[in-house]
Structure 1
Amino acid sequence: MLDMSVTRLYELTIILYASSVLLYFIDFLQHNRKANRVAFWLLSIVWLLQSTFLVIQMIKTGRLPILTVFEGLYFYAWVLISLSLVINRLLKVDFLVFFTNLLGFFIMALHTFAPAQHESAVVAQQLVSELLIIHITMALLSYGALTVSFVLTVLYVIQYNLLKQKKWGKRLLRINDLSKLEHVAYLFVVHGVATLLLALLLGIIWAYVKVPHFQWYDAKVTGSFTVLAVYCVYLYLRVSLNVHGKKLALWNIAAFFVLLINFFLFGSLSRFHFWYS
């Protein structure tokens, strides 16, 4: 009976999430502030329900539920919602919540239709350790920060093109100025890269301790370091070469697609990260 109630609540969460994204889309097209406010409160309810499910899973499993791709997708979506709500409250960047949660809803949909991966969960339970938990948590948090940076950069490109084409209007005024978008996107890359670097270092330490045949050339390992390298190039361009504008924005967008390839493709090709594929 309890499982059935949880299932119904989860279905309600998906419906509310879809409604919130739809209302944000209406606001994006029609500048409807009432739709924006309702969407925000619906998203807040989704966050509360997601947090409740997360706590329930923690109680059931006795750990942070992030060790399988099924669990990791859910936690990733929760991180995106959390970040978008906080940033929207602190920075008031219009459309950030819409674009971030468009991605978040896509991740939730993948989570919903993904197989439960019971075998992977059994293996994950055997491999549990505090170091592994911290490693995966930090990696997902870094992906969340880099995702928000990507969304801000997309908004930058939209604003840049509107200004270039001299399309003045309400949307132009609401997106925010280019310098602020670029600066905040840069700050999220800084935090994302720092967190990812720590996550990779902890992962290497854990692998040497726990895994008998650690392979540096494993797809997931090389992919993760490739992601780190690509974002380090972004930071080098921004800080050392003082590159700004659309060129830097396009590099950030390309770097995010490298991140997605690593998360979805390299994880499935990996032999080393078998508990997470």
Structure 2
Amino acid sequence: MQNSSNTPAGFRPAGKRTFPLNADQLEAAQAWVDFGERTPSKPRMASSVVLLKDSPTGLQTFMTYRPGGSPLGIVAFPGGTIEPADDDVTDWVGPSPVEWAKRLGTDNVDLAKRHVVAAIRETFEETGILLAGPDASNLVEGVSGPKWMKAREAIAAQDDTFAALLARRGLALRTDLLTPLSHWLSPDFAHRRFDTRYFAAARPVNQQPTLLSSKGVWGRWASASDILATRSTSALGDEIGQDRTVGLALGELVVPGVEIILEKLAAARGCIAYLNHKRPINEYRPQLVTAAGEDFALEVQASPASEGAACRER
């Protein structure tokens, strides 16, 4: 088996991969084994967005620290769970919900719509990047400043809804700016489980990400190659500087889905090529295994994908 911590930056081996468990996962895995395997808890539906931009050091993505025991990882891309109010969003341009269901490989059109809405909403909440505009050809501009931050805070606190915000400002979701990437389920033994759809989107040229005032701790554009080059060290965890991150290597900070996406970003030749690459929407189900003697690990069947060339921002 290929251990992720020993994988060179940008190298993406196919076949079975093993990934370490963090402290919370180890406790849950031990309980799963000690008390006998049982019916897994029902996963919550979630969406996560890989924001992208080109740089002299290669493709960059916006990553954030996630407080609490998020199943998306301690460090992750913007994202979160689907909410009931996501059904209220009706202003929509780009591929239809029916087309999105096809792209995501599901027969459930309503669920596909919720995943897309949640992806754009969570990205707006956590970063201020808003993939919406007055029509199919334009994006909203000037989404920074106190008024927009207040709107983000209200949506995050559920004092307002994303649908209401869009309606007040005459905006429709630009679903054409999202690209589906992959489908990940939390392992069976986890106390809190997510069924997560990962998407990608280029950073709009007229928008810059900012952390949510009430919750933001750490977040920045990160070169996938640079992150992977120090994956076996605690460089990233030490930079974040939280009790839950100091001294931890990349594999202890992120879930396997994030690490594998970073590998593919590092191997890509540009943003446009990565977004335009035709890829199957693989469903990944990490399995609990023992590695290096009696240590628990997660095993994932990973497959490589070729990526393309040069990029421009939208």
TM-score, normalised with respect to structure 1: 0.27
Q: Return the structure number with greater helix share.
A: 1
Q: Return the structure number with greater strand share.
A: 2
